[in-house]
Amino acid sequence: MKKKLVALILLIGVIPVLASFLVFQASVEKNRREDFDRLNTVKVQAIQSDVTALYDKHIAVLKLLARSSAVRSYDLDNVKEILADMEKAYPMFIPVAADRGGRQVVKTATYSMSGIADRRFYIEAMTGREEVLSEVVVSRSTGLSTVILATPIYGDDGTVTGVMQGSINLLKLTDFVKERTDGAVTAFIVDTEGKIMAHPNSELVAERKDVAKTAYFQKGAGGLSGVEEVIDDKGNKALVYYAGEKKTGWVVCMETPVQMLQERSGEMTRRALPVVGVTLLVVTALGYFLVNRIVNPAKIGSRDQQG
């Protein structure tokens, strides 16, 4: 009888404790995931803002150059000095001027001039489009995979006489995302074709890994931001936080292992277990005491009188 009562009271006491712990744990997990998502969403949006600032800064420099009197008059000696100063101030990109025939006429680098009359960015800028961003192309001067910004050069009569371009090779963009990669959290950029164009893992950039079919790219390319679960290159679950960058059309991403979130949740669980253990011990002791009161009330009462 006594054993059954002990078991019953312990059962009645332990179940609410365990149920409360499970509810608490679920709430902690939910809050932890929400906090984790909010934090990483802010981080990827910060990188997105950096990409926007990168684009704005360099296109502004090109417009400034294109409107200078030296460039508009094709005073090549003076233009070369101006480009040299700009390249020192903005080392990420190489400014180049091209004439109405699509021939590069001045640049600061030691690479040879090349013809660009067939390049899409050149054709679009020659139509008077103020801001042009190319797809990833292989530079005819350097042989490097590159993205090019371009803006038209106008003559005194208002006609387009050439194009001012600035080249940013993918190695520079990779350095850009490396600076924003922290430990297991990896920043990377996907171009408008759905191919990785900047990543701390240079092999993925070299092979131009295609992620066009992933949900995060398709949603990011549509201008959305959010998070998607993926399987990384090592076969582990990971979370990719993404944000579409409107001016470039690129998708800015940040990948973090699911294990990182699980480790943080496990730490919270480990901290809570001692509290649960103490609570169960208290419930057990209280249950045992109550059973003794119920089974032997007279004996306990006589002890009280003797005390």
Q: What is the pTM of this model?
A: 0.76
pLDDT computed for residue 124 by the predictor: 97
Region 167-189: mean pLDDT is: 92
Contacts of 142 by beta carbon, 8 Å cutoff, 6+ apart: 109, 111, 167, 169
Q: Is residue 128 part of a domain?
A: yes
The CATH number of the domain where 70 resides is what?
Answer: 3.30.450.20
Mean of pLDDT over the chain: 83
Higher pLDDT, 270 or 300: 270
Give 127-183 as a DSSP string.
TT-S-EE---EE-TTT-SEEEEEEEEEE-TTS-EEEEEEEEEEHHHHHHHHHTT-BT
In terms of pLDDT, which residue wins out, 107 or 101?
Answer: 101
Residue 210 has pLDDT above 80, yes or no: yes
As to burial, measured by CB atoms within 10 angstroms (0-12 exposed, 13-18 middle, 19+ buried), residue 15 is exposed
Is 161 among the domain residues? Answer: yes
Amino acid 300: pLDDT: 46
Structure-token pair, residue 30 = 């939910």
For the chain, the C-alpha Rg in angstroms (whole number) is 33
Return phi, psi of residue 129, to 5°: -70, 125
Q: Token pair of 60, please?
A: 């502004």
For the chain, the 3-state helix, strand and coil shares in percent, each to the nearest 5, are 50, 25, 25
Output the CA angle 99-128-101, nearest 5 degrees.
Answer: 20
In a domain, 112, yes or no: yes
Tokens of 126: 């020659």
* Cα 282–Cα 284–Cα 286 angle in degrees, nearest 5: 65
The band of 6, judged by pLDDT with boundaries at 50, 70 and 90, is low
Q: Check the CA dihedral 218-43-172-231 and report its sign.
A: negative
Q: Is the pLDDT of residue 287 over 80?
A: no
- Whether 74 contacts 98, CB under 8 Å: no
**Residue 237 within a domain:** no
Cβ contact 211:242 at 8 Å = no
Structural domain for 153, as ranges:
57-169
Crossing angle of helices 258-295/297-306, nearest 10°? 80
For residue range 134-176, list pLDDT tens digits in order: 999 999 888 899 999 999 999 999 999 999 999 999 999 999 9
Would 42 be classed as within a structural domain? Answer: no
Position with higher pLDDT, 36 vs 203: 203
Check residue 49 and give its pLDDT: 96
- Asked whether residue 90 is domain-assigned, the answer is yes
Give the pLDDT of residue 232: 83
- Contact indicator for 98, 109 with CB cutoff of 8 Å: no
Identify the burial level of 241 via C-beta atoms within 10 angstroms of its C-beta, where 0-12 means exposed, 13-18 middle and 19 or more buried.
buried
pLDDT of residue 195: 97
Domain assignment present for residue 101? The answer is: yes
- The domain total for the chain is 1
Q: Please check whether residue 152 lies inside any domain of the structure.
A: yes
pLDDT at position 142 is 84
The distance of Cα 94 from the centroid of its chain, to the nearest Å, equals: 26
Tell me the pLDDT tens digit for each residue of 15-55: 665 665 555 555 556 557 788 888 899 999 999 999 999 99
CA distances (Å), 120 to each of 9, 52, 126, 134, in order? 80, 22, 10, 7
7-21, 76-90, 273-287 — most confident range: 76-90
> How high is the pLDDT of residue 93?
86
pLDDT at 217 over 80: yes
**pLDDT tier, 182 (very low <50, low <70, confident <90, very high otherwise):** confident
* pLDDT exceeds cutoff 50 at 285: yes
